[in-house]
Amino acid sequence: MPLSKYQSAFQEKLAARFEEVPHSDPSKKGIKLEDHQHIALEAIYNGLLLNRDRMCAVASCGSGKTLVEIAAISASQAAKEQLGINGDRKDLVITEERAIVAGIRRQFARLGIETGIWTGGRKELEQPVIIAGIHALQAARSRRELTKILPPGTIDLCVLDEADCYLTQRRIKTIESLNPRIVTGFTATEKWPDGRHISDQFGPVVDRLNLVEAMKQKINVVPDLYIYESAIKEDDLRLKKDDYDPAVLQAAWKHAELHKAIPEVYGHLLSENLRRAFPTLVYVPSRDMVHATAESLREQYPEIAIAGLTGKDETDEVEEAMEGFRNGEVQIIVLCEMGKRGMDLENAMLLIDAYPTKSLNKLEQRHGRVLRKIRPGSALWQKGWRKNGAIIAQIAPKAGTFRPALFTDIIGGWEEFQRVRGARDREGGGGAPEENLIAQVRAQIESKRPPAHVSLVRRVDILEQIRKDRPQFDEDGFFRIPRRYVKREPPDAE
């Protein structure tokens, strides 16, 4: 079957989905698309008119890009059904985490579309639509083995969910070995700090919706931002520094400051009568911190149901915790790296970010978990959840050696911060200390029961900043506190 014939049929079915993605059962109601989703699908349609077989769309976190992906897959399936060529041919969605695989599969199921999955040791490849984790594809002992499982020519449409995650040579070669007929990439963060861009590998960006524009259009909620500083004073601790590796001590000290601050920040933001109405996500730097933080929160707030999730958890455990969160049975989920993308938890109202990073991409993906709106008519809507705003609380540890990226940087402050600070921080050589050593020293620090000093540095009206189209800077030109990170320019500097 020539590509042009399949592509023409795909294009026709895609055009039929600009307004609504149909349910596989004609007697059941499909899902209506919002204007920005319609625009993204139309951009892909126009790309097909130009005979493009590689293209990308950039959508803000929480804007509903998964529904656009499903609309494309649904159109491909309808096209092949019309041509009578489904047979052994497949459509493939590639994504990052096991939790995201489960979330995407659940959204397909809402439209009656059966899917197979390939993730976490599960390989169900009989269905014409497969949702696969990139790690599962890479786990094949060789590309030759992968092509035996999914022979070249098998894949008609390959959707790359979180397309910026596949810019390493190994992942590029893995996807290329599948030789899909058409590739469409979707992500909120299109470029790496080193300059690598999704369009370098997966075709031009045909549609773009950034987070600021999405908040202006009320596609995403606009959060209240609280910036806290946490500290454990050296005088309160009196450690013999010569007994520790300096890098391990510094990391452990930072983790202890973050860990001890989280329960206090949660209590400061939410009075007891609000806690069940504000489902909360907490992000921390390590698996050990997930368990320690979940336990600390349980001790301080025994009336609240708390789950801690790491990349080591089984898929069923992750799904159970997420479903409990959506049902209101779990009030807090503590996460580390595994929860940075694609967590389908639109009812999250508060995000406590205790995972300092310099990466704006990581930050935007993480904060996007709480910026999602609840669609009228959705399962969460029917359960009574409503959401007109959200809260983001970021904790900057005093012991940190770098000023972390903050939400204000996403809306335009990063370049100004670089100018005020001067040269970029240089990463230290030798790599990060081992996580278990950091955990041991952190436990030693906390066993001394030092008081935690947590202070609210600033509350930021993000809506006001968006209206001004610029961040608000203080007298030093520095919007983001703490000031210890500022490198003052000499008076005669330009």
The reported pLDDT for the residue numbered 57 is 97
The reported pLDDT for the residue numbered 422 is 52
223-485 homologous superfamily = P-loop containing nucleotide triphosphate hydrolases (3.40.50.300)
Stated pTM of the model = 0.84
Torsion of CA 289, 295, 299, 303, to 10 degrees: 120
Highest averaged pLDDT of the listed ranges 30-39, 186-195, 356-365 = 30-39
Instruction: Please report how the helices 435-447 and 287-300 are oriented relative to each other, as an axis angle in degrees rounded to 10.
Output: 30
Highest averaged pLDDT of the listed ranges 30-39, 243-252, 354-363 = 30-39
The reported pLDDT for the residue numbered 490 is 38
Evaluate if residue 78 carries a pLDDT over 90: yes
The neighbour count for residue 213, using CB atoms within 10 Å, is: 14
User: Across all residues in the chain, what is the average pLDDT?
Assistant: 84
Evaluate if residue 473 carries a pLDDT over 60: no
User: What residue spans in the chain does CATH classification 3.40.50.300 cover?
Assistant: 3-209, 223-485
Q: Name the phi and psi angles at 390, rounded to 5.
A: -155, 170
The reported pLDDT for the residue numbered 377 is 75
3-209 homologous superfamily = P-loop containing nucleotide triphosphate hydrolases (3.40.50.300)
The neighbour count for residue 165, using CB atoms within 10 Å, is: 20
167-211 per-position pLDDT tens digit: 999 999 999 989 999 999 999 999 988 889 999 999 999 999 999
